[in-house]
Chain A
Amino acid sequence: MDNLLLDSFVRLLGQISPPEAVRRAEADGAAAHIVHEVDESGFLDALVPESKGGSGLSIADVVQLFFAAGEYLLPIPFAETMVARALIAASDAQPPRGRTIILWPSAPGGKLRSTLGPSGDSTSLALVQRDAEFRLLPIKLEERDADPFRMWSASPMLDATPLLQFTLAHVDLLHWSAAITAANMAGAIQRLLAMSLTQVNERQQFGRTLSKFQVIQQQLSVFAERSVSAQVAARIGLVGSELILDGGRVAIAKSVANESARVCASIAHAVHGAMGISEAHDLQLYTRRLARWQISFGSEAYWQKHIGQRRLQSKEPTAVEFVRSLLAAGPETAH
């Protein structure tokens, strides 16, 4: 990934997605201006091949953008739209402009494969997958109070006439949803760490800044370890070619991101004390989303079971050989 590209994306995020903007989008679900700015920037077409008007970046190239979107809590389904546009382009259709797209992997019976639905914005459409069949559908944005985490959960109007319809073999939207969630989590955790470091460097108790207490130092070291783990894990998940991710890689990404979120959110809250529980403090913007992401698109147990089953099905004699074969496809084989 070109650093200039990342820098320009981060600059854009600083302008359009500061905590005040995240709060405004949360309050009314209206993010049209943010969608407009992001669409104009071209980043939503990063995974679309150059021959089809995109930037032709590889999956591994855009991981940093996903981290950054998580770090700024960009209140639109950014990575999801990027992937949906690439899938639509792969089917030789034209992705719709000015709209975001949520991903809706569904089970054979039609149910969404997640405990909670994805959150969307006022411009969102939904890319619904059932087996190899994909449909782009309009959505219904639920009332904010309908969502247990007070977000704007969106769901497709399954009986509506699809804007687009196509089939793609081997692509599993659950893998994409989980891997994107893991990357967003890793980004948000990194920001939480920065906030927590600021907090312990400024806040005084017992006549000293919190940072001078060994118990605080040790906890923040653990935080940093888990933050790095989540990022390394998310990067493992987002490797693939032809827009196909590997379930085993995704399982590593989401399960470890979840474990990190649990540890890191807990330490972040501990060092912020009661003020971190208040609505007025920005901490809750991050920890509320992390909690929601933990139970979106499979928990640790779901994905750990997936890896455990893969390990037991594999003929590799040792755990290390299994891991090596699972991770054998490097970014050089990414599309």
Chain B
Amino acid sequence: MIALTEAFSRAIIPAIAEDFRAQVKSFLGAALPGQPPHVRARTWSAFDAKFSRSLAERGWLGLTLPKRYGGAGLDAFSRFVLVEELLVAGAPVAAHWIGDRQSAPLILRYGTEEQRQFYLPRICRAEIFFCIGMSEPNAGSDLASVRTKATRTDTGWLLNGSKVWTTYAHKSHYMLALVRTSGTADDRQQGLSQFVIDLSLPGISIKPIMDLCGDEHFSEVFFQDVQLSADALVGEAGQGWAQTNAELAFERSGPERIYSSLILLDLWTHRVCRASSEPHEVRLGRLIARLAVLREMCLAITQRLANGDSPLLEAALLKDLGTEFEQSIPQEIADAVAADPDAQPDDELTRTLAYLMQISPAFSLRGGTREILRGMIARGLGLR
């Protein structure tokens, strides 16, 4: 536990990354049309290829990738600043989000030189978008029981199976998938491998699934006798589980695990609290205090990423606390706005609140459920 504490020691955004913030702010001020808050609240769930390309034109995708692969060669703190500004503005960033956050670093770390040269520059130019193929119809939190199978052929691999709840598979070009290459589901973490799958290949069908807000942000993907070339394998066959874990440190550690409800918090602050401050000060202060602590923790993990570490346990801890915070915002504000049934409702506030009240249960499901994360922390505490 002492080690866990030290893992969260204070980190400071270097001046060079902080200086970058002004550029991002001025771009966002001009680039984002006057979208209403209930639309901006969708932020990293909102897909807008054109917006992602406009970031790419500025060299802001693949910020931490080496320049020789089309990246900017900056550190994790510059990426933190960019991501923070995008989320606070409610920018529609889903198109490039997954490729930029985890697929590109994964390919950089485990891919062959040919794979790096093919995929990374295209990710940086927003020409290709990625989705993550983890969950399956019978493998959710129990990820090690995936059954989608790739069998070796003379020319590569033959893929059969399906993935589900895959974020924006229906709008992506590639899927980075965890599939079984040997043994059966009973072999658990053994015999899993990662593939980058071209979603335009014959034998792949994708069906969007409507979510409870009426949006289509995730989908079902079916693979029937899909022929993958040999170079679709990423890293080593059989090392898929370890590689996926390294990927999850990127997936779980960013400010998006804290900031998903901030558009609502800011809207409520401006429209309600400023109008009648007295009854809301304590509630507002409670949320701000938690936000401040979580942001410091996120910076501490960013420091670890900048050092080249893979802080999986710390990321699990931050994600569990961060999503609890994101989920508490709509609950707190729901309680506050309906405290007076005789007050005149604010339509935009109600819409934004309603969206987050409905979607926020997903915050502690996507990217690893609360229960799985707590299980990981328990293992870190030596209890499992």
Contact = CB atoms under 8 A, between A and B. Distances in A.
Interface of A: 60, 190, 193-194, 197, 200-201, 211, 214, 216-218, 220-222, 224-225, 227-229, 231-233, 235-236, 251-252, 255-256, 300-301, 303-312, 317-323, 326-327, 330-332
Interface string B356-384: 00000000000000010111011011111
B273 to A, nearest CB: 6
Given A197-B381, A225-B317, 7 more contacts: A236-B292, A303-B289, A305-B285, A308-B273, A320-B259, A323-B292, A327-B296
A209 to B, nearest CB: 9
A227 B284 CA distance: 23
B284 A312 contact: yes
Contacts, number: 158
B266 A255 contact: no
Given A217-B375, A319-B262, A233 B293 contact: yes
A301 B262 CA distance: 22
Given A228-B8, A312-B273, A221 B285 contact: no
A305 B297 contact: no
B320 to A, nearest CB: 6
Interface in B274-289: 274, 277, 280-289
B4 interface: yes
Given A312-B273, A320-B295, A321-B88, A304 B285 contact: yes
A200 B273 contact: no
Given A197-B382, A217-B383, A319-B265, A308 B284 contact: yes
Nearest to B85: A320
B1 A256 contact: no
B288 A308 contact: yes
A214 B384 CA distance: 9
A159 to B, nearest CB: 37
A130 to B, nearest CB: 27
A277 B300 CA distance: 37
B296 A221 contact: no
Contacts of A194: 1
Given A307-B289, A319-B265, A228 B12 contact: no
Contacts of A304: 281-286, 289
18 contacts: A197-B383, A217-B383, A220-B378, A220-B381, A222-B374, A224-B380, A229-B293, A229-B321, A303-B285, A307-B284, A308-B280, A308-B281, A308-B283, A312-B273, A312-B284, A319-B291, A320-B291, A327-B295
A218 B285 contact: no
Interface string B147-159: 0000000000000
Contacts of A224: 1, 4, 317, 377, 380-381
B320 A225 contact: yes
B290 to A, nearest CB: 7
B24 to A, nearest CB: 13
Among B283, B288, B296: residue with most chain A CB under 10 A: B288
Nearest to A251: B289
5 closest A-B pairs (Cβ-Cβ)? A308-B285, A308-B281, A304-B285, A307-B285, A217-B378
Nearest to B277: A312
A228 B317 contact: yes
Contact of A323 (B12, B280, B295): B295
Q: Is the interface of B mostly helix, strand, loop or mixed?
A: helix
B26 interface: no
A228 B5 contact: yes
B84 interface: yes
A295 B306 CA distance: 40
A236 B280 CA distance: 24
A327 B12 CA distance: 10
A9 to B, nearest CB: 15
A253 B296 CA distance: 12
Among B280, B371, B380, B381: residue with most chain A CB under 10 A: B381
Given A222-B374, A224-B381, A330-B12, A320 B84 contact: yes
Nearest to A317: B266
Contacts of B288: 307-308, 311, 319, 322-323
B269 interface: yes
B10 interface: yes
A320 B291 CA distance: 8
Interface string B260-274: 001001100100011
B282 A308 contact: yes
Contacts of A190: 1, 5
A211 B285 CA distance: 36
A320 B281 contact: no
B290 A320 contact: no
Given A312-B281, A319-B262, A320-B262, A218 B293 contact: no
A60 B12 CA distance: 14
B277 A221 contact: no
Contacts of B293: 229, 232-233, 236, 252, 256
A233 B259 CA distance: 18
A222 B197 CA distance: 38
Given A232-B8, A307-B285, A318-B262, A327 B292 contact: yes
A225 B1 contact: no
Nearest to B313: A224
A311 B295 contact: no
Contacts of A327: 292, 295-296
Nearest to B314: A228
B377 A221 contact: yes
A320 B265 CA distance: 10
B384 to A, nearest CB: 6
Contacts of A218: 371, 374-375, 378
B383 A228 contact: no
Nearest to A249: B292
A109 to B, nearest CB: 24
